[in-house]
């Protein structure tokens, strides 16, 4: 069983969308939930989460890889590239060359390494346009994992993630229900017994075209335009933020006892 868990990445791993005022950076997320479940089986589990929202893949590797290696973890999760794929232009092959080199270094330590494919945005009229580049990215991830013996959490194959009800209003970040789904999948991929139970959502309400247009306009006004504004200013939602758990710290009894 694992004793030193380090999570690397961007907002997905930081836990954005799963609001929790009592947690560092005021978010909880799937990685915290995984750490809590691991700590139930291994009291004293040490956990660090270096992820920061808004980070591009080169930034994640430049800022987080060396600190992670210094911690000598026996479990590492790494997801990066989602923010790059959303840019107007991206060289997916070049990105994944750097990703491959980073995974090689992590795997060479003997740690169990967990990677993630990108989510299939087919149900969203905006993110459907990214399917091609996301599919190319995913094939790279699968090849990298096979090359270095890493495990893969296949978010693309998780049909439950196509349901907009597991996403925040910004359509970019998972909400609490979405983070719970991912936490359960990560634990299943690791072969760890757990008590994370996704919330049954029932049948989705079918919206009329007028209602869909109204929602899309509201989303564009409240989320898309501010995001574009930050890009034009060269700003990031993660500017000024520090990692929520910058060093390995034991998961407390209270954290390990929490559940969903």
pLDDT digits (tens, 9 = 90+) for 71-110: 999 999 999 999 999 888 999 999 999 999 999 999 999 9
pLDDT of residue 252: 83
Give bridge partners of residue 47 from the DSSP assignment. Answer: 5, 249
Cβ within 8 Å of residue 53, ≥6 positions away: 10, 11, 14, 16, 236, 237, 238, 241
pLDDT of residue 207: 67
In contact, 67 and 243? CB cutoff 8 Å: no
Residue 1's nearest CA partner among 32, 37, 48, 28 is 37
Q: Does the structure show a pLDDT above 70 at 257? A: no
pLDDT of residue 216: 67
Q: Does the structure show a pLDDT above 80 at 14? A: yes
Mean of the pLDDT values across residues 215-242? 66
Q: Does the structure show a pLDDT above 70 at 201? A: yes
Residue 241: pLDDT band with limits 50, 70, 90: confident
Q: How far apart are CA 256 and CA 260, in angstroms?
A: 12
pLDDT digits (tens, 9 = 90+) for 45-60: 999 999 999 999 999 9
% of the chain at pLDDT higher than 90 = 72
């Amino acid at each position: 069983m694992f004793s030193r868990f380090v999570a690397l990445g961007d907002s997905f791993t930081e836990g954005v969308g799963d609001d929790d005022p009592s947690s560092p950076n005021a978010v909880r997320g799937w990685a915290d939930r995984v750490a809590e479940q691991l700590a139930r089986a291994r009291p004293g589990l040490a956990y660090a989460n270096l992820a920061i929202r808004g980070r591009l893949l080169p930034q994640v590797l430049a800022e987080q890889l060396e600190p992670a290696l210094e911690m000598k973890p026996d479990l590492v999760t790494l997801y990066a590239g989602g923010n790059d794929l959303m840019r107007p232009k991206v060289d997916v092959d070049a990105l994944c060359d750097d990703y491959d080199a980073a995974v090689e270094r992590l795997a060479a330590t003997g740690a169990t390494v967990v990677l993630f494919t990108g989510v299939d945005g087919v149900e969203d009229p905006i993110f459907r346009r990214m399917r091609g580049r996301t599919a190319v990215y995913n094939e790279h991830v699968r090849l990298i994992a096979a090359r270095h013996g890493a495990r893969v959490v296949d978010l693309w194959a998780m049909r439950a993630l196509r349901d907009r009800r597991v996403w925040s209003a910004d359509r970019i970040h998972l909400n609490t229900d979405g983070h719970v789904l991912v936490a359960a999948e990560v634990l299943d991929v690791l072969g760890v017994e757990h008590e994370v139970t996704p919330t049954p959502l029932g049948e989705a309400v079918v919206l009329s075209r007028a209602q869909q247009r109204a929602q899309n306009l509201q989303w564009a006004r409240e989320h898309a335009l501010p995001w574009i504004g930050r890009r034009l200013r060269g700003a990031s939602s993660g500017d000024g933020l520090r990692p929520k758990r910058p060093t390995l710290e034991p998961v407390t009894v209270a954290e390990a006892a929490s559940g969903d």
